[in-house]
Structure 1
């Protein structure tokens, strides 16, 4: 092992099951708000107290008992992030059952695999379409006894069924749930091969949450307020979403649910619920930034926004140097500029996401240093951390008062991280999972002497800060034998407002290439802003040339961060997005690289063939310094 970081001691170990959080909260302060919901999209948010949530959970737990759901039984929840998901998961944990999250967008084959592999005795779905999907695979699922449909009144049916079950029965079941009992079977995203079911105990899920709440909990409450609030929109079918839910319930934060992750729905919910804390992924934070820029440009204030953004980053970088002992903080001129932009720009940006968000967490993949500094500079510090399904979602966090943008922080107290000779990150601690179900060989392959081999690549500096550099399975090896980690290049490409997604390719090819998709809204604005006057055919050709040059500049900017042998020499802009509907993105918003390479094999071949046989085309000045630069546009 090359690098090593050991965190300070952890918090007191869990002594019960996760469901006790709700019962304890109701006993201590029954009137404290716990969840928020709204009957319709246009309705106001109604808050439910801890006592009301506990009673709802008890009623559902009685219904589960009446339906012969027993400790150790596995019940799948195949639904979006909604109020009922939280009630059902805690009701299942109350009776000692195990939750098996399934993405509601999963295909028929994926649903069948998870239900059969986990041996589920029941499944909760949202609508008739999901009922039909489950019904089509029931013949291969002999253990499946119940299919409950939320939109058909399943919860009311369960409550009615459990009316005659004594409370003492539920209480006795809750008290025999042990910390090391399995709480959830969370399936990996399946970017390659069959998804594997990770067995996570109650202790696994609570460990990172309790550590974060102990050390960072006070930072999520705005000054002068008693309680933080979180809008949960990340899928609970992913371990990050489960982590958010557990944090809110154990930490006493008011949690609302937004099942629709579309831009319009999410924006409306942020502005109506007005959370104080934001739990997000890099793609969302990138999108918010680009929307800020696009709206400013459409209003003729693009230059003003860019000056404000630069000032925000400079201000945050100066604060960072100060807190790390490398500077005296922002100078007078910078503080004056920042104060001006606070009155004219920054508070308006914060208002666009509700106006009350003080801090945020980013997870799922690393957030660029530039974006972290931007958000800190406008008044929203983003804690970029690291976790994975096999470690219950939480491994590192930024140390308070010594945050370092561009890294994912240091090991959480109680966790150990190390970097092996090949650059792979290893993790040891209380959040590491129990193993993959029905897959002993796979379990032994990642658990090595108490260490979890994560499959992620990174490095640890002398102060224990971890930087993620990529995934082992994503490393590209060119025909000349050069190893290239694509993550940094892709991250820099996405910083350009026109670029929505980027996938770097080049395995067994003479150089590195990139497949690029464009942001539709920004592209429309960009086209409208061009001052081209001519007949239509000529205008279209000039417009495409201008777009090619603009993307070329984005590629050159990305190349500036790597060596020449790692630089992108060819690229192709694709006409469609990578998304779940075409099978090129997982429900947790990760790109399926292998599927993308297979799907666009013809385009990739054509891209490289054009490089070797096509006449040389003029390229932007920024690209001219790179050997044999080519750009291929579709």
Structure 2
């Protein structure tokens, strides 16, 4: 195991209940969350202590046990909020199985996830009220308790159940004893997390409490978070990078605040004096770009570049004056930001180095939902530009079938590796072999143990936002269009991001046969037909989450290059498209 990831002392726990109860006790009087509310009188802030957070979690879990939901399955869907995260931990500490859902899923995908996971309880926010009302009409779901996060009408809401549980816990009761004496089996399924696929093809990852607890243990050893820190909970909690991240932050006794939205990040950084920010590269890169735009407006961009070079050189010589030298720049970021953790996609090396040169420790990590999620990470003493860091202290990383450049598939072994895919032994066996998890990512390890990723083994489109798009799933929808012969979905490079794009192939005779209204004076009227196709694409997009929607089309009658088994040679096709663009 890697000693470079063992920088700080840590206590290892078997399960999340042990881990969180220790945090509630150790940091009882500290502020766990600051909640902001808009009232007629203006903005009001409420501080939730660790002691109260623990009490609310126990109360909610007790109320659910009293209602007969011990060992059942609870899903939550909605924006990041106190009820969301309290429900998440009430499920885990109360021995339920937790099913976090992507708040951006279309209704039919929500229904599919609830059906596949056999969910019994749904905790939802106001934005999903209409969807939930429609979902209630599905008679084939197991769900029999819908809990709104905010009080509305006659429904039993989150706060009602907390108060119900508080009352139960104020006096001896069977449900209170049932919670207090509950034994958590750390090695059975406690979470079901759906990967980024669409309904029919997405995988449901099974994680145990030991999986998560072991990753928290490793994170505690390599990253320094202090009780005085303030964390901006920006990434959606349904993403394991975010849920594991905030669990780690909470174990360290830091304060957590909620972001008001993408355009309010700068305001929130200043408003709450945020010192820690866990995010995706897209956000950090936008922040960095804004710094230089502001400098350019003042005619100081060249000066800033020179100062960054000087700062870097001085720091290498052991003279660290970065935060003094760039005080005005750091003030643009709220004045207190000291630590940024980037994950879910590759960050620009220039941006990562730039933030570090400004005096804001910026590290990159790598992992997957299947690994709870962190496999490797940089830390204060181990940063290498372009890498995704070194293995966590309890994780082994190897490269299988390397090529002449040492690039091969990244495989991992450790206590954070998933139990498998829910009710899908075939897919599980493809990635879990002899105790090793095959990530599907390609990379190499340098002589000092740093992992560098080279790309995806499969065809997944990994966007800068951290979202994954699987081409085959969208192709299934496109191939339902009867006038198309074939389709290929791919990521079209736009700057340093990838735009979901599709090459659609038609046969003119087939089109004219099915759609004779598009016959022109000289065969098919391609422009009018293109308009028809675009309308169909718009309909398909309406059924997809925003990040999966097709943004660019290539429409033509030239067939794709195929193998002898009629499979599209994607890389060759993409090369052809690239040559055409040039």
TM-score range, shorter chain: 0.7 to 0.9
How far 1:167 sits from its partner (Å)?
6.3
**Are the structure 2 counterparts of residues 85 and 36 from structure 1 closer, same or farther at C-alpha, using a change threshold of 3 Å?**
same
Query: 1:319-359 CA deviation, whole Å, 9 max, x = no partner?
Result: 5xx5xxxxx578xxxx9xx87x954xx32222222211111
| Counterpart residue number, 2:474 | none
| Counterpart residue number, 1:21 | 19
Instruction: Please tell me whether residue 164 in structure 1 is matched to residue 168 in structure 2.
Output: yes
| Counterpart residue number, 1:215 | 222
| Counterpart residue number, 1:445 | 430
Please list, as runs of the form range in 1=range in 2, the aligned pairs for 1:111-510 lying within 5 A after superposition: 111-127=110-126, 129-133=128-132, 135-136=134-135, 138-152=137-151, 154-162=157-165, 163-164=167-168, 166=172, 169-170=175-176, 172-173=178-179, 175-190=182-197, 194-217=201-224, 220-221=225-226, 227-258=228-259, 260-263=260-263, 265-297=264-296, 299-301=297-299, 304-309=300-305, 311-312=307-308, 315-316=311-312, 319=315, 322=316, 343=325, 346-421=326-401, 423-474=408-459, 493-494=495-496, 501-503=497-499
**Are the structure 2 counterparts of residues 445 and 508 from structure 1 closer, same or farther at C-alpha, using a change threshold of 3 Å?**
farther
SS at 2:278 equivalent: strand
**Are the structure 2 counterparts of residues 56 and 629 from structure 1 closer, same or farther at C-alpha, using a change threshold of 3 Å?**
closer
How far 1:403 sits from its partner (Å)?
1.6
SS at 2:37 equivalent: coil
Counterpart pick for 1:33 among 14, 31, 34: 31
How far 1:46 sits from its partner (Å)?
3.2
**Are the structure 2 counterparts of residues 170 and 391 from structure 1 closer, same or farther at C-alpha, using a change threshold of 3 Å?**
farther
The CA RMSD measured in Å over matched residues stands at: 3.7
| Counterpart residue number, 1:58 | 58
Query: 1:62-82 CA deviation, whole Å, 9 max, x = no partner?
Result: 2212332112x1110001111
Q: Distance in 2 between matches of 1:285 and 1:168?
A: 50
**Are the structure 2 counterparts of residues 317 and 189 from structure 1 closer, same or farther at C-alpha, using a change threshold of 3 Å?**
farther
Which stretch of structure 1 is more off in the superposition, 265-274 or 236-245? 265-274
How far 1:152 sits from its partner (Å)?
2.5
Q: Is the 8 A contact 1:231 1:270 kept in 2?
A: yes
Q: Distance in 2 between matches of 1:133 and 1:39?
A: 24
How far 1:29 sits from its partner (Å)?
4.4
**Are the structure 2 counterparts of residues 368 and 313 from structure 1 closer, same or farther at C-alpha, using a change threshold of 3 Å?**
farther
Query: 1:450-495 CA deviation, whole Å, 9 max, x = no partner?
Result: 111111111111111001121112389xxxxxxxxx99x959x33x
| Counterpart residue number, 1:539 | none
How far 1:97 sits from its partner (Å)?
0.4
Q: Distance in 2 between matches of 1:313 and 1:582?
A: 46
**Are the structure 2 counterparts of residues 462 and 139 from structure 1 closer, same or farther at C-alpha, using a change threshold of 3 Å?**
same
Structure (1/2) with the larger strand percentage: 2
**Are the structure 2 counterparts of residues 257 and 441 from structure 1 closer, same or farther at C-alpha, using a change threshold of 3 Å?**
same
How far 1:198 sits from its partner (Å)?
0.7
**Are the structure 2 counterparts of residues 603 and 252 from structure 1 closer, same or farther at C-alpha, using a change threshold of 3 Å?**
farther
How far 1:289 sits from its partner (Å)?
1.4
Query: 1:542-595 CA deviation, whole Å, 9 max, x = no partner?
Result: xxxxxxxxxxxxxxxxxxxxxxxxxxxxxxxxxxxxx9x9579968xxx54xx6
For structure 2, list consecutive stretches of 5 or more residues without a partner in the other structure. 403-407, 462-489, 506-537, 561-575
SS at 1:474 equivalent: coil
How far 1:368 sits from its partner (Å)?
1.7
Query: 1:528-550 CA deviation, whole Å, 9 max, x = no partner?
Result: xxxxxxxxxxxxxxxxxxxxxxx
Q: Is the 8 A contact 1:18 1:202 kept in 2?
A: yes
**Are the structure 2 counterparts of residues 110 and 439 from structure 1 closer, same or farther at C-alpha, using a change threshold of 3 Å?**
same
SS at 1:19 equivalent: helix
**Are the structure 2 counterparts of residues 437 and 248 from structure 1 closer, same or farther at C-alpha, using a change threshold of 3 Å?**
same
**Are the structure 2 counterparts of residues 29 and 198 from structure 1 closer, same or farther at C-alpha, using a change threshold of 3 Å?**
same
**Are the structure 2 counterparts of residues 8 and 178 from structure 1 closer, same or farther at C-alpha, using a change threshold of 3 Å?**
farther
Q: Distance in 2 between matches of 1:373 and 1:605?
A: 47
SS at 1:38 equivalent: strand
Query: 1:39-94 CA deviation, whole Å, 9 max, x = no partner?
Result: 239635432222111221122122212332112x1110001111111211111122
Q: Distance in 1 between matches of 2:577 and 2:66?
A: 71
Q: Distance in 2 between matches of 1:352 and 1:395?
A: 33
| Counterpart residue number, 2:514 | none
Q: Is the 8 A contact 1:277 1:357 kept in 2?
A: yes
**Are the structure 2 counterparts of residues 94 and 437 from structure 1 closer, same or farther at C-alpha, using a change threshold of 3 Å?**
same
Please list, as runs of the form range in 1=range in 2, the aligned pairs for 1:65-84 lying within 5 A after superposition: 65-71=65-71, 73-84=72-83
How far 1:374 sits from its partner (Å)?
0.5
SS at 2:383 equivalent: coil
For structure 1, list consecutive stretches of 5 or more residues without a partner in the other structure. 323-327, 477-485, 495-500, 510-578, 609-626
Q: Is the 8 A contact 1:350 1:356 kept in 2?
A: yes
Q: Is the 8 A contact 1:210 1:250 kept in 2?
A: no
**Are the structure 2 counterparts of residues 28 and 369 from structure 1 closer, same or farther at C-alpha, using a change threshold of 3 Å?**
closer
Query: 1:185-206 CA deviation, whole Å, 9 max, x = no partner?
Result: 1111117962211111111112
Q: Distance in 1 between matches of 2:578 and 2:60?
A: 63
Q: Is the 8 A contact 2:503 2:553 kept in 1?
A: no
TM-score, with length taken from structure 2: 0.75
